[in-house]
A and B are shown apart, each in its own frame.
Chain A
Amino acid sequence: MISIKNLHAEVEGKPILRGVDLEIPDGEVHAIMGPNGSGKSTLASILAGREEYEVTQGSVTYKGQELLEMDADERACEGVFLGFQYPVEIPGVSNLYLLRAALNARRKYRGEPEIDAVDFMQMAQEKIGHVGMSMEMAKRGVNEDFSGGEKKRNEIFQMLMLEPNLAILDETDSGLDIDALKVVSDGINRLRSPERSVVLVTHYKRLLEHCVPDRIHVLYQGQIVRSGGPELADTLEAEGYANLETDEAAATS
């Protein structure tokens, strides 16, 4: 699905990513963990096409294409979805209106006609149930007056509607209570299929208990310092990130 090679990036001259290598095959769920400031969100934003980061070195291949040469909207139309850590509010624009515009943008990109209004509403009705939200909420302004948990549910709702090939979820689990966490992980599990891949950026093991990843990678100071199976989460939980520094020293020596 996606292949990241020696990715270096900086923001305002400050290096954040210092040579990330990562392969995510079709149909797999990978988790990226690591302490604050290790570059997790930067990596997610760069993959989604945010322009404030400057890629200084390296390449990203997505479905055989050079991902970094595409604009954010083109990436989205090609099936890249970012679940935002802090979803923004867009006053006066209903969630449904944005979603329909997004779906139609994809269809236009593929040379297909616009989605039928009735089909769209039926699809929305079905999928909103999966995240425990009401149509009433879907008609409200995008994230307008939504609580933190509602915003995250809304991201999952959008993901289910847009059916991406590569979903990157940036700390979608942080700040959630148990119920919301279950909704979010159910949503992710629902999306799992042989032709889709998921990247979970997270701090906590608890999401990974509901949503067991194929691989876990630890990002530390802009590099992947450890990779392993789901059991790596337990190790990290037990030992913390404190001894990563020595690991990294060992890795680079």
Chain B
Amino acid sequence: MAAHEQDVEQLVAEREYEAGFVTDLESDTVAPGLDEDVIRFISNKKDEPQWMLDWRLEAFRQWKQMKMPTWPHLHYPPIDFQKISYYSAPKSAADKPKSLDEVDPKLLETYEKLGIPLREQEMLAGVEGAQYPTSGSNVAVDAVFDSVSVATTFKDKLADAGVIFCSISEAIREYPELVKKHLGTVVPRGDNFFAALNSAVFTDGSFVLIPKGVRCPMELSTYFRINAENTGQFERTLIVAEEGSHVSYLEGCTAPQRDENQLHAAVVELVAEDDAEIKYSTVQNWYPGDENGKGGIYNFVTKRGDCRGDRSKISWTQVETGSAITWKYPSCVLNGDNSVGEFYSVAVTRGMQQADTGTKMIHVGKNTKSTIIAKGISAARGEQAYRGLVKILPSATNARNFTQCDSLLIGDKCGAHTFPYVESKNSTAKLEHEATTSKIGEDQMFYCQQRGLSEEDAVSLIVNGFCKDVFKELPMEFAVEAQKLLNVTLENAVG
């Protein structure tokens, strides 16, 4: 290997995790372990109605019969589910502070480190009566800290438009009929091992309902952060877009740097009715562990969208740079005729990170269309697999799919694998698949450096070019954030 390439590899290996701070907050945490009593405890903490508790207990019974999936291209020691704490809440959320001065300064510090603008911090810290200027930021934020949603911003403005955006716990209390109607209809309780676990113990998450014909007036956003030690985070998000409505939803995730592995098992369900459109974007930056693979988040997530109505559209865009282990396949079930599913993904694995990620596009309705663009970047000893399923049912006349999977390798100790599955039961379907694997070439590096770019800038320029097709799908503010995140991910901290 040329000296040059080694440098790039080293550069990438030495970069540190920037969101790796721990907030030393007084928190209310349940002892590790999982049984029906813990589920009752969680349900009780959240003042849930009986039906919700019953739903959880049934999920738990199903989960106990299930086994962890072994098919992914991932290697990790068995997880002891009895060593995890299933509930943790920052104490200050219990009694609402009157002003920012009363808010736990550590919590504010955390928001600052997460890069949340100051005037939003007041809202997030739950300051009573905190108001927004009418102009300014145009993103409504829901922040989930360990197991609870700390606050949701812009509620009033959204309410004027008829949009419901609140924590799922609040939705269970305030809009039980809506939750009951949709919860588990896209991802059933027993869908898979992690979905069943989540259904039993989910602690918070977001609920969104966009009423008929409404175009949500702003981007909705959730920040997830795991803070407490030995705590799992199990959030549940449910987004319902009624007929002809439109919403763009963003989620961002970070976690502190800890030596032990933490578990994150979320479920996201999207429902799009006739002519509705949901755009769901994720920038995931959970702690990836150190370069020897110590610590890091185990990220086992089930995300699925149901294009229930005709001409509905669901679009997943994700930029995944974090987590020690990623197991995630945001999917679309294209039930409605002429419905559209899209998946745009950039996944980065470096250090000892492993990712098995991709999507599923299930074509049920006529003239359904799906697009998959997956970009994988592996550096150092990162291992990555793209796993995608395109399934055309007999009813899906004239279905179309376009899939493009590109892998970029940095160094020669990393790996990229592609597992595309295609099942077509209708001969009118048209499917296209393109796949490439390339290495950052010395020629490209030298070309950039000869033009004056430093080694780091050259790597980030080439990588950003590689990801362009995905970044352009992100909302503007997020695209900039994603690009920056990718740069710090692949940059030497010592610069």
Interface residues of A (CB under 8 A from B): 48-52, 71-73, 75-77, 81-82, 84, 87-88, 90-93, 97-99, 101-103, 105-106, 109, 141-142, 158, 162
Beta-carbon contact of B452 and A90 below 8 Å: no
Q: When A51-B3, A52-B2, A93-B464 are in contact, do A88 and B450 touch as well, CB less than 8 Å?
A: no
A114 to B468, CA, bound (A): 23
Which residues of chain A are within 8 angstroms of B464 by Cβ–Cβ distance? 92-93
Beta-carbon contact of A98 and B448 below 8 Å: yes
Does residue B443 face the partner (Cβ distance < 8 Å to A)? Answer: yes
**Cβ distance A43 to chain B, nearest Cβ, rounded Å:** 15
Beta-carbon contact of A141 and B446 below 8 Å: no
Beta-carbon contact of B447 and A73 below 8 Å: no
Q: Which of B1-34 contact A (CB under 8 A)?
A: 2-4
A90 to B468, CA, bound (A): 12
A49 to B146, CA, bound (A): 51
Q: Sorted from nearest, which 9 A-B pairs have the closest CB atoms?
A: A92-B465, A93-B465, A92-B468, A105-B452, A76-B452, A102-B451, A72-B449, A73-B449, A102-B452
Beta-carbon contact of A105 and B454 below 8 Å: yes
Which residues of chain A are within 8 angstroms of B442 by Cβ–Cβ distance? 52
A71 to B446, CA, bound (A): 11
A93 to B446, CA, bound (A): 15
Q: Which of B406-442 contact A (CB under 8 A)?
A: 441-442
Which residues of chain A are within 8 angstroms of B452 by Cβ–Cβ distance? 73, 76-77, 101-103, 105-106, 109, 162
Partner of A88, one of B447, B454, B461: B447
Nearest to B375 among chain A residues (CB) is: A92
Nearest to A103 among chain B residues (CB) is: B452
Does residue B455 face the partner (Cβ distance < 8 Å to A)? Answer: yes
Does residue B453 face the partner (Cβ distance < 8 Å to A)? Answer: yes
A50 to B443, CA, bound (A): 9
**Cβ distance B448 to chain A, nearest Cβ, rounded Å:** 7
15 contacts between A and B (CB under 8 A): A50-B446, A73-B453, A73-B454, A76-B452, A84-B447, A88-B443, A90-B447, A90-B461, A101-B451, A101-B457, A101-B461, A102-B453, A105-B452, A109-B452, A141-B465
A81 to B455, CA, bound (A): 17
A102 to B441, CA, bound (A): 19
Does residue B185 face the partner (Cβ distance < 8 Å to A)? Answer: no
Which residues of chain A are within 8 angstroms of B446 by Cβ–Cβ distance? 50-51, 72
Beta-carbon contact of B451 and A98 below 8 Å: yes
A109 to B454, CA, bound (A): 11
Q: Give the A-B contact count at a CB cut-off of 8 A.
A: 81
**Cβ distance A235 to chain B, nearest Cβ, rounded Å:** 33
Beta-carbon contact of A76 and B467 below 8 Å: no
A91 to B443, CA, bound (A): 13
Q: When A51-B3, A98-B461 are in contact, do A92 and B467 touch as well, CB less than 8 Å?
A: yes
16 extra interchain contacts, Cβ-Cβ under 8 A, other than A73-B454, A106-B452? Answer: A49-B449, A71-B449, A73-B453, A76-B449, A81-B450, A90-B465, A91-B466, A92-B464, A92-B466, A93-B462, A105-B451, A105-B452, A105-B454, A141-B465, A142-B447, A162-B451
A252 to B60, CA, bound (A): 90
Which residues of chain A are within 8 angstroms of B44 by Cβ–Cβ distance? none
A72 to B450, CA, bound (A): 6
Which residues of chain B are within 8 angstroms of A97 by Cβ–Cβ distance? 461
Partner of A92, one of B4, B451, B453, B469: B469
Which residues of chain A are within 8 angstroms of B461 by Cβ–Cβ distance? 90, 93, 97-98, 101
Does residue B138 face the partner (Cβ distance < 8 Å to A)? Answer: no
Does residue B444 face the partner (Cβ distance < 8 Å to A)? Answer: yes
Q: When A101-B457, A105-B457 are in contact, do A90 and B462 touch as well, CB less than 8 Å?
A: yes
A75 to B453, CA, bound (A): 11
Beta-carbon contact of B462 and A73 below 8 Å: no
A32 to B469, CA, bound (A): 43
Which residues of chain A are within 8 angstroms of B465 by Cβ–Cβ distance? 90-93, 141-142
Nearest to A94 among chain B residues (CB) is: B465
Interface centre among A75, A105, A106 (most CB of B within 10 A): A105
Which residues of chain B are within 8 angstroms of A48 by Cβ–Cβ distance? 450
Q: When A51-B3, A92-B464 are in contact, do A87 and B447 touch as well, CB less than 8 Å?
A: yes
Q: When A73-B455, A88-B441, A90-B462 are in contact, do A49 and B4 touch as well, CB less than 8 Å?
A: no
A171 to B121, CA, bound (A): 59
Which residues of chain B are within 8 angstroms of A87 by Cβ–Cβ distance? 447
A92 to B455, CA, bound (A): 18
**Cβ distance A227 to chain B, nearest Cβ, rounded Å:** 27
A149 to B145, CA, bound (A): 57
Partner of A105, one of B441, B444, B453: B453
A82 to B466, CA, bound (A): 25
A90 to B2, CA, bound (A): 21
A90 to B442, CA, bound (A): 12
Partner of B450, one of A49, A101, A109, A141: A49
A92 to B467, CA, bound (A): 8
A102 to B447, CA, bound (A): 11
Which residues of chain A are within 8 angstroms of B451 by Cβ–Cβ distance? 76, 98-99, 101-102, 105, 158, 162
**Cβ distance B458 to chain A, nearest Cβ, rounded Å:** 8
Which residues of chain A are within 8 angstroms of B453 by Cβ–Cβ distance? 73, 101-102, 105
**Cβ distance B466 to chain A, nearest Cβ, rounded Å:** 6
Nearest to B461 among chain A residues (CB) is: A93
Interface centre among B446, B452, B469 (most CB of A within 10 A): B452
A50 to B450, CA, bound (A): 9
**Cβ distance B491 to chain A, nearest Cβ, rounded Å:** 15
Which residues of chain B are within 8 angstroms of A81 by Cβ–Cβ distance? 450
Which residues of chain B are within 8 angstroms of A50 by Cβ–Cβ distance? 446
Which residues of chain A are within 8 angstroms of B449 by Cβ–Cβ distance? 49, 71-73, 76
Which residues of chain A are within 8 angstroms of B454 by Cβ–Cβ distance? 73, 105
Which residues of chain A are within 8 angstroms of B3 by Cβ–Cβ distance? 51
**Cβ distance B468 to chain A, nearest Cβ, rounded Å:** 4
Nearest to A107 among chain B residues (CB) is: B452
Interface centre among B449, B461, B468 (most CB of A within 10 A): B449
A93 to B450, CA, bound (A): 16
Nearest to A144 among chain B residues (CB) is: B465
